[in-house]
Chain A
């Protein structure tokens, strides 16, 4: 239920917290790293070793592309040595960066998500703001002194670049972009008597999924003749919830971190998901397993996963994780995620970005920036994008003859030109204006986790014979609010707003001490001024 906010002790506490944070950050800032300034000249007389923390999708081709990019860059800049550390999960990068901020051992260049950068930025001058570097005539985007043909700022897709703005500045550059895709067993949809529309709606997905549950007398499902069928599986329930809310125009969070997710739309969404979990029409990756495995075994009809997972999807997928004898032949269709309003589609934009960490030596930071920029060159962009259903982030790469040729050859083979992969990429390329991202603030990563947890808990609870009603959802909201510390962020716009009670004694003492100190400072200043006037 939406509730008006009241000026409660919580509000007072927040006000005090803001004041204290300014005071304390000012103190902390005096010990932090100096803000980065672009050097006058790139120093080629010294050797710089920079570390690059990279993420791949457990994909050896991506690893090789990184390695080639490093080797090519080092040829252009012989005095820079790039040491790569590979990860297969953004969460692990995030945790390691957080651990290393306190010891000033962050990497130089890091593949990451803007949500995570917001947390990195809580350190003083930890992450380098890039606007000055973008605009630098010599070493900036398209700069005159670059040893490679990089993109200008105008050649970076504006929607993707804008996702890297935090606190009115760019703190990252996009590296690759992907979106969520619905991979469909079209054969089964038509076998069930439905016609697959160009744009899926949620109503269609639920209707087909329920219809697919019809069984034969022997307990097997009519549509696949097997004992196992989960018609609809979503890999990423946080993206599922985020997209559903966005499509409904419902609250998620404000730009400044006000939590709005606990609202009536969320309740309706969860009730619907509960109904279809109860009938076993819907499940999740966390509950059942990878959508691709079920889809390829003919045990799933609608599999929602990232476009960056396209090479695992379909009968002819180049990457398969189930035994060959379990593979089922079917036609795989690629669609944007289901919509509430097909005339106004909305889909999430995701994918890795690149940030640069500040260091004492500005030349080392400049070396980092040069390497980061190199990752936007056509060679790297085109090669990496083709490993999965990724879109290059520059128009320079997207419009290149090489990339256009790649797209045009969709379906020529089931490896480099695997049709499902290129179709998934096209969904994103054709819908850049229909993509969105969620607001980024310190804690937005937790809110994202919480949004998925709501779906996971409802799906699990229904399976465990619990009833999804208002009382259940009240408790769930409270639990998730607490578990993800959402009540300790910028505020809760609905179903939250709980009073925190009186301030702790220590806080009262601290505030009192600050007041006394300021009174003392003011008194001394007034006394000095009076004495100055007397003299």
Chain B
């Protein structure tokens, strides 16, 4: 059930697929993002009036109204005037779930783009997020792309949650087998239990110091045509890999992996 949240987003994929088919575009929003239009900043810009700092955002209660300024790091597929955004500033990261967004504006949500987001804070199965329906305003005074934070040593510790939603790196992990529906050992599964097919999320296991962790390639972030989707399907048990991704949370750490490098 680890991807049962994708139940909500499944319609997204379908719609995005249909719209992409009509428009000749890609449903892989993460890959379609262009390079930042302006020179990258350091994300430490002073917040505008009425805008929360990252600490104030984190201190806000669930269901409080929140106003944040942040920089787009990646997006999931746009669908039916909604888009899910992975965002960050110099102090931390944000997950903005199904913000209200036209298709035209979605195209402008490129990596590094500064935005102001007004919405309500929510917690869904442990994931702290700006709830569905938030509004976005574009701000063009600076850009920022966060560096991945190496959290390898925090795997399995209570401190890992402090990096929730951030771009993170895991280094020197070993690919471990998963078990498919036929009981065979494989390197990845479509869906958490292997019940899916090509195009669905990929699940794969990696280990560090004898502990095994499950990582995900979220198909609405990095779809079947993405490099990471291909790379994970080509992994072999025993490969030692460096991984990067966004530290999503679902009843525990559930990283959405965006790149894989085999050492």
Contact = CB atoms under 8 A, between A and B. Distances in A.
A293 B125 CA distance: 8
Interface of B: 1-4, 6-8, 10-11, 13-15, 17-18, 21, 62-63, 65, 120, 122-125, 131-132, 180-182, 191-197, 200, 251-252
Given A63-B181, A287-B122, A290-B1, A88 B251 contact: no
A92 B14 contact: yes
Contacts of B125: 288-290, 293
A91 B1 contact: no
A56 B10 contact: no
Contact of A288 (B3, B7, B124): B124
Interface string A318-329: 011111000000
Nearest to B195: A60
Contacts of B62: 463
Contacts of A92: 10-11, 13-14
Most chain B C-beta atoms within 10 Å of own C-beta, residue among A61, A95, A288, A292:
A95
Given A88-B196, A95-B11, 12 more contacts: A60-B181, A60-B194, A63-B194, A87-B10, A92-B14, A96-B18, A287-B124, A320-B1, A322-B251, A323-B252, A460-B120, A464-B120
A98 B200 CA distance: 20
A63 B194 CA distance: 9
A286 B9 CA distance: 12
A464 B63 contact: yes
A106 to B, nearest CB: 14
A353 to B, nearest CB: 19
A460 B133 CA distance: 11
A58 B8 contact: no
Contact of B1 (A62, A286, A321, A464): A321
B196 A86 contact: yes
A99 interface: yes
Contacts of A460: 120, 131
22 contacts: A58-B193, A58-B195, A60-B194, A63-B194, A85-B197, A88-B6, A88-B10, A88-B200, A89-B14, A91-B14, A92-B10, A92-B13, A96-B17, A289-B124, A290-B1, A290-B125, A293-B1, A312-B1, A319-B1, A322-B251, A460-B120, A460-B131
A74 B180 CA distance: 24
B191 A58 contact: yes
Nearest to B3: A58
A64 interface: yes
B22 to A, nearest CB: 9
B195 A63 contact: yes
Nearest to B132: A286
B195 A62 contact: yes
Interface residues of A, number: 36
A293 B251 contact: yes
Interface of B is mostly: loop
Interface in A96-132: 96, 98-99
A507 interface: no
A452 to B, nearest CB: 12
B191 A88 contact: yes
Nearest to A98: B18
Contacts of A292: 1
Interface in A57-103: 58-64, 85-89, 91-92, 94-96, 98-99
A91 B120 contact: no
Contacts of A61: 181
B218 to A, nearest CB: 14
Nearest to A319: B1
A85 B17 CA distance: 16
Given A92-B13, A321-B251, A86 B1 contact: no
The 3 lowest CB-CB distance pairs between A and B, nearest first, are A95-B14, A60-B181, A89-B10
A63 B63 CA distance: 39
B15 A95 contact: yes
Nearest to B131: A460
Contacts of B65: 464
B63 A463 contact: yes
Nearest to A63: B195
B3 to A, nearest CB: 7
B4 A58 contact: yes
Nearest to A294: B125
A60 B182 CA distance: 9
Nearest to B62: A463
Nearest to B251: A322
Nearest to B250: A321
A439 to B, nearest CB: 23
A288 B129 CA distance: 12
Nearest to B10: A89
Interface string A26-42: 00000000000000000
Contacts of A286: 8, 132
A88 B195 contact: yes
A98 B120 CA distance: 34
Contacts of A86: 195-197
A215 to B, nearest CB: 16
A237 B62 CA distance: 21
B18 A89 contact: no
A58 B251 contact: no
Contacts of B11: 89, 91-92, 95
Contacts of B18: 95-96, 98-99
Contacts of A95: 11, 14-15, 17-18
Contacts of A87: 10
B156 to A, nearest CB: 11
A51 to B, nearest CB: 13
Nearest to B8: A286
A470 to B, nearest CB: 23
A287 B123 CA distance: 8
Nearest to B14: A95
A22 B11 CA distance: 32
